[in-house]
Amino acid sequence: MSMMKSPISLVLLAAWLLAAATVLGQGPEGKLPEDRSEAGALIRLERPAAGKLPGPEPRRAARTPERNLRLSRPVPGRHRAGGGMIALPAGNKSFFSDAISGKDLKPEMRGKKAPSPPKVQGWGRNHAVSNYEDDQGSPSMAKDSQGRLYVAYDWLYSGTGKYEVWLARSSDGGNDWEDLFYLGDDNYDYRRPSLAATTTDEFFLFYQTDDTLGLQYIWSSGGDKWNFDYRIGYKASYPKCHRPRVAAGRKNDSTRVLVAWEYDYFGDGSDYDIGYAYSRDGGSSWLAASSRIADSVYQERFPSICISDSLIAVAYELYGNWGTNDSVDIMYSKTGGLSAPQDTAWSTGVYGIATTRHDRQPALAASGRYVYLAGQRAYNDQDDYDILVRHSSDGGKFTLLGEGFEGATFPPTGWSLSGAALLWSRSTNCSGYGIGSASAMANFYNVSFGQQELISLQFSPSVLGDSIAFDHAYATYSGERDSLAIYTSPNGGGSWNLMVGLGGGTNGPLNTGGTTTSSFVPNSGQWATKKNSLPAGTNRVRFTAVSAYGNNLYLDNIRLNTLLFAAGTSAEEKYPSLFANDTICYIAYSRNGAWAGVRKSINTGIVWSEEEIASDSNTAVQGPGNLSISLLGENPRVAWTDNRNQAWGLGTDIYFNTDARFFPRSCDLAPYQLTGWQYPLVPSKLRGTYSVSDTLRGMLTTARDTTFVDLCLIDSASVDVADTFRAGLFVDEWLYAYLEEERLPAWWPTGVIDYPMWVFGGRHTMSLHADYEERILYEITKDNNVFSKQWVWTPYRLPDDTTLQVPTPPVNVIDPEIPDYNCDGYWQASTNYWSAVGLKPAAGTDYALRVYTDAYGKAEGGFTAVAAESDLGPDAVEVIAIDGNRLTSGTVYYPGVYRGPKTGDGDYYLQFCLQDGTTPANGWSPVRRMGEYQVVHTYDVSLTMGQTYYAACSLAAGPAILGFAVFSPKGAVYKPRSQAIGLEDSLTAPGRQFSFVADTSGWHAVVVWHNSPAKDDTSVYYVGINTVPFGLPLAVSLAEFAATAFTDSIVLRWRTESEENSYQWLVERATGPGTYELIGTMPAAGASAGPREYRWCDRSARANTLYYYRIGEQDLDGTVTYYGPVQAMLAPGQIIRIQPLAAPNPFGECIKVSYQVPNSGEVRLHVYNVAGQRVRTLADGPANPGAHSIVWEGRDDGGSVVSAGCYFLRWEIGGASGMQKLLKVR
């Protein structure tokens, strides 16, 4: 922008003020007579060519020359008691708040990760909206229907020492800006503008001023011609109206306009309220100009407003005692609707965001029925603010669940009781954690049996990501297992689904107070908090208490949690600004007081994208109103206050950016070509040429060789202010390095960087991007000017027990016929022990781990000899064990990480582990800690062929979710995880065990892996091998699950080998492989070391319908593990019993499988091992009706004898299917 500021200010002539004072009935001193309430006069200003505003000009016919605005005088000696005082919610903020504290933070918030260095991801280079010699700030952005962007801002003009309001517009998406007008005066300030536009391009620009006209604004129809107007507030001679915020209707509502402001009641800053003015007709007339939304004895400040499809809402700060850790909350008030008179009937303010810390700087945005409320919350007292967001899909009504049982009525209003047993009542003996005065009590102490339901009121349907939390206290009398089951309903109680069952007893998840024979009343330290995810669409919950004549259960502070962290790192995230587009929401905020951060949610604020940085310099100025965000097309646009030019004699400026691709630039970087050089970007060691070698040094464990890249660029266009040299060096489409030189003053356009690179082995594509655009710097040819080339890096040696964190592996872009042409390649040398390589991919990705036995080639090829591959699917930890005992010491092999097309992006963790020690075959190993980001550990153990062993892993401490497996030396040298002879995945404390039969004698491997590697992992575990079971909980071992169809019912039968901590079985049914419905429950054994058999009869099955059944085993802690499905279908008039009979079982050399075919059809009988691999096909094809049998002689499909152990017979006969466990003992 080349325009310089004119010294001519826009003056409000004294004659205009005198005329206004005359119309208003004001005397020379500008005071209001006590009895005047006439309509205010109109002063309209328009910018002429000379830069000043002329006198009043007639409006278009659509607007009346005078508006129905009445001046309401303040009441002398105003008091704060009685009806004029806003009533705050009673109790402990349980009505409309989420008490976020250390005990219920999501796990990633307890140990907040350090923020990554700021970098612009997909965002272009910053552009200045204004960069003059004075301070400009407080941007406010809007757009019109033609795609033009508007930014209003204030300017502290050094010529007068007063603030002015300026308006700039861009017609090309933000590349170039023109100033439309400015409003200024030698005697008054005009500052903190707020700009809004309707869908019909009616613009309203409000601002703060200290002149005698009160609240003022400028309006325009179409954005080209602008007019001045004002609203009279209390005591117009005082600067009453601060920080105005304006919102206009969107979508189908183009006539509603609301402005709210801080109202300085006494004029001395001692008491701020929230005032407002409202128009139903696009600004032609205004209502409630002197009313207040909030006017308590406390300070209400920083309003934010929005208009949804059903109401108008205002959020604001409520100040208490700043000396405490919880002195500021964000309040929320709304109208009763959009139709008169509900659109001016404001609700009493309720807590919008009210945690146990300071909650400040509210931001509201609405689009149709979606409303978003954001605020900043102090993570640690007054330090480290994060951004919280809550959402509403009911237009901003926010009908939520929150009950602390503080009211005397029980059940509370809207709640109900059901059931014959009189269990539930309100108790004033205790409350959650000792806070408050009451709770709900289930009187198990005096009621010996029966159950009763406590049913909540109906609330707004939950969405994905919502959760319900409650505080509870319970003690048992002498071990009785009282219980609490929580059910959810999506239809107001028409039907119910079990969410979680919680048992009492001595060790049940409800128990917080141990055992007591007197009536249990907990103290403040005998409470705990439970939190469970709610199914989407839930609008009512039910708490079912079941007495076993134990002791009392207390519930308190039942709340629906909808507060989500939009930005919550150890960086400081403050001053949010929102823009909503139905289910999509954008948020901009100040990051560490120096950057403009941006995040996006595409699912109503439930999940937020990774942080992007809009500002390309750490010079964004934080503060209220210093950020504004809008949307043009599909791209967010951000404007902020910036101080990057202060060192050059300029003040703070308004800068702008967008993530739009191919965004035009007035100043671009271009490649610089040295004399005699053929290409502008070359590896230094190759002496200025591009084709000396196709192989570059990678990073080695000893020498740490690197490749150096010379980067030489010039600025292709002259600049009017100092510029910054920036570029991004990319490897395999991920940003390898964010390159930045010192700022280049104007007319000094050259920059050079010599940058070292570490790249892991394999074929990689290196490219240079300047300004982070797609059209940047490919290889210089006649067709383009972007540099890109592929090189082969030498493989990197994997160190022992050191985890590498590596960006996304490359995608094959050379030759699809050579799948291993692109991968991250490594090497390692064998020793005479077992070792393993472990890969933990990024969440949602699916990378394969391979071991090759040939070295990586040069330009003409890649790895070719695949010795083993582990590819278990997305998010799985891949493991390959290497039996070094069978290799010559020093044998080199090559682990590789391969990514096929469209299998996700993200950093992965890779670790090599040489044997960590020898485990005895009759006990436990020494204690071991997983360590920082470690993925895999390996142990040797000597076993005897034919012996039955128990393998166990005990998690002694820490949060880890581990898996472990045993590998046999029989067969291949390189073994993926799927070839383990026994394994257990996803085990948690205290641990699990499994049994297996050694298929050969010699050194076996025990491999332990970490499913969620972490930096500060404190997990401690043991591994053990023994010939007798360990004293660990046995997992529920399902031996058999089958369905049998009769003429009038289908009978399910399942058998377990053992159970521990099992609460109940869930029986579910579906008519397809999709959504299941719960059709019944059955108590589980709880704990059983021997076999247990269960049966369930489904008498509601219909003929000629194929059903899918699955069963879920629910533990005492609420965890559900599903088995199945099996299939069955009734055949009218026939009795079908098609369950195969396998005998003898266990078996030695062979086993006979007998089965019945009721009708001609397909029969499939397959045998699988414990790793899920198919071992033998016994039958696969059509069969005639009648009895059949087949013998399995214990061999695989290749004719080899299989090892002793556990196998599974999977059968499909006609329309039914099932599974049966087979045990081979020798």
Query: Residue 977 in 3-state DSSP?
Result: helix
**Backbone dihedral region for residue 732 (phi beyond 0: left; psi -120 to 50: alpha; all else: beta):** left
| pLDDT computed for residue 500 by the predictor | 93
| pLDDT computed for residue 1089 by the predictor | 62
Closest CA to 361 of 397, 329, 401: 329
| pLDDT computed for residue 63 by the predictor | 22
- pLDDT value at 27 more than 60: no
Element (H, E) at 22: helix 14-24
- pLDDT value at 209 more than 80: yes
Residues 363/317, Cβ–Cβ less than 8 Å: no
Structure tokens at 981: 């002879």
Whole-angstrom CA distances from 1171 to 418, 591, 977 are: 48, 48, 9
| pLDDT computed for residue 76 by the predictor | 26
First to last CA, the chain: 86
Indicate if 851 and 984 belong to the same structural domain.
yes
Please write the tens of the pLDDT for every residue from 574-619.
Answer: 999 999 998 899 999 999 999 999 999 988 887 888 888 888 778 8
Looking up residue 1075, the CATH number of its domain turns out to be 2.60.40.10
Please write the tens of the pLDDT for every residue from 228-265.
Answer: 887 665 433 345 788 999 999 877 777 899 999 998 88
Task: Pick 362 or 462 by higher pLDDT.
Answer: 362
- pLDDT value at 489 more than 60: yes
Amino acid occupying residue 911: Q
The most confident of 464-478, 578-592, 802-816, 890-904, by mean pLDDT = 578-592
Rounded to the nearest integer, the mean pLDDT of the chain is 75
Structure tokens at 409: 């009525």
pLDDT category, 442, cuts 50, 70, 90? very high
Instruction: Give the position of tokens 């962290």.
Output: 565
Looking up residue 827, the CATH number of its domain turns out to be 2.60.120.380
Spatial separation of the C-alpha atoms in residues 35 and 99, rounded to whole Å: 49
Structure tokens at 675: 């004399």
Structure tokens at 751: 């920059």
Indicate if 216 and 339 belong to the same structural domain.
yes
Amino acid occupying residue 19: A
- Counting the structural domains of the chain, the total is 6
Indicate if 218 and 325 belong to the same structural domain.
yes
Indicate if 259 and 319 belong to the same structural domain.
yes
Indicate if 759 and 875 belong to the same structural domain.
no
Closest CA to 870 of 959, 917, 935: 935
Structure tokens at 103: 């005990």
Looking up residue 754, the CATH number of its domain turns out to be 2.60.40
From 1027, 1056, 1080, the end of a domain falls on 1027
DSSP 8-state secondary structure symbol assigned to residue 107: H
Looking up residue 188, the CATH number of its domain turns out to be 2.120.10.10
- pLDDT value at 547 more than 90: yes
pLDDT category, 816, cuts 50, 70, 90? low
Indicate if 853 and 940 belong to the same structural domain.
yes
| pLDDT computed for residue 687 by the predictor | 29
DSSP 8-state secondary structure symbol assigned to residue 1034: P
Domain that includes residue 553, residue range: 407-561
pLDDT category, 7, cuts 50, 70, 90? very low
Q: What is the CA radius of gyration of the chain?
A: 36
Spatial separation of the C-alpha atoms in residues 42 and 37, rounded to whole Å: 15
Q: Is residue 85 part of a domain?
A: no
Q: Is residue 107 part of a domain?
A: no
| pLDDT computed for residue 1218 by the predictor | 76
Strands 695-696 and 788-793: parallel
Q: Is residue 106 part of a domain?
A: no
Spatial separation of the C-alpha atoms in residues 938 and 438, rounded to whole Å: 54
Spatial separation of the C-alpha atoms in residues 332 and 317, rounded to whole Å: 9
From 765, 793, 821, the end of a domain falls on 793
**Backbone dihedral region for residue 899 (phi beyond 0: left; psi -120 to 50: alpha; all else: beta):** beta
Indicate if 678 and 769 belong to the same structural domain.
yes
Span of 20-29, 142-151, 518-527, 736-745 with lowest mean pLDDT? 20-29
Please write the tens of the pLDDT for every residue from 1097-1141.
Answer: 888 888 788 888 888 888 776 667 777 778 888 755 433 345 667
Closest CA to 545 of 579, 506, 504: 504
Span of 21-30, 286-295, 541-550 with lowest mean pLDDT? 21-30
From 1136, 1152, 1180, the end of a domain falls on 1136
Q: What are phi and psi of 6, to 5 degrees?
A: -75, 140
Instruction: Give the position of tokens 């521990």.
Output: 1060
Task: Pick 856 or 629 by higher pLDDT.
Answer: 629
| pLDDT computed for residue 753 by the predictor | 53
Residues 6+ apart with CB under 8 A from 1199: none
Indicate if 267 and 131 belong to the same structural domain.
yes
Q: Is residue 101 part of a domain?
A: no
Indicate if 674 and 788 belong to the same structural domain.
yes
Amino acid occupying residue 1162: E
Q: Is residue 103 part of a domain?
A: no
Spatial separation of the C-alpha atoms in residues 826 and 912, rounded to whole Å: 10
DSSP annotation string for 193-230: EEEEE-TT-EEEEEEEE-STT-EEEEEEESSSSEEEEE
Strand order in the sheet with 1186-1192: 1141-1143, 1151-1157, 1186-1192
The most confident of 68-72, 321-325, 902-906, 998-1002, by mean pLDDT = 998-1002
pTM over 0.75? The answer is no
| pLDDT computed for residue 733 by the predictor | 66
Structure tokens at 947: 């012996």
Beta bridge partners of 1083: 1064
| pLDDT computed for residue 430 by the predictor | 95
990: preceding bond cis by omega (within 30 degrees): yes
Query: Residue 432 in 3-state DSSP?
Result: helix
Indicate if 549 and 515 belong to the same structural domain.
yes
Closest CA to 609 of 627, 585, 583: 585
Q: Is residue 32 part of a domain?
A: no
Spatial separation of the C-alpha atoms in residues 1112 and 409, rounded to whole Å: 39
Please write the tens of the pLDDT for every residue from 735-779.
Answer: 666 555 444 444 334 445 555 666 777 777 776 655 433 333 332
- pLDDT value at 72 more than 90: no
Counting Cβ atoms within 10 Å, is residue 1089 exposed (0-12), middle (13-18) or buried (19+)?
A: exposed
Q: Is residue 43 part of a domain?
A: no
Indicate if 771 and 838 belong to the same structural domain.
no
Q: Is residue 90 part of a domain?
A: no
Indicate if 327 and 381 belong to the same structural domain.
yes
Query: Residue 23 in 3-state DSSP?
Result: helix
| pLDDT computed for residue 239 by the predictor | 58
DSSP 8-state secondary structure symbol assigned to residue 669: E
Closest CA to 468 of 443, 502, 442, 495: 502
